[in-house]
Copies of this chain bind each other. A is one copy, B any other.
Amino acid sequence: MKLGEGVEAAIHCTATLASVEGNSTMPGAALAECFGLSASYLLKHLNMLTAASILESVPGPAGGYRLARAAERITLLDIVLAIEGREPAFRCGEIRRNGPVKIDASAYVKPCGINAAMLKAERAYRAALAELKLSDIVADYAAEGDPRSFAASCAFVARHQRPQKSSSTPQKQM
Contacts and interface: CB of A to CB of B under 8 A. Distances in A.
Contacts of A7: 90
B141 A113 contact: yes
Contact of A148 (B1, B2, B12, B103): B103
B108 A149 contact: yes
B149 A98 contact: no
Given A3-B91, A33-B100, A113-B137, A107 B149 contact: yes
A174 interface: no
Given A1-B80, A3-B91, A125-B125, 4 more contacts: A1-B4, A99-B153, A106-B146, A124-B124
Contacts of A70: none
Contact of A121 (B1, B34, B76, B148): B76
Interface in A142-161: 144-146, 148-149, 152-153, 155-156
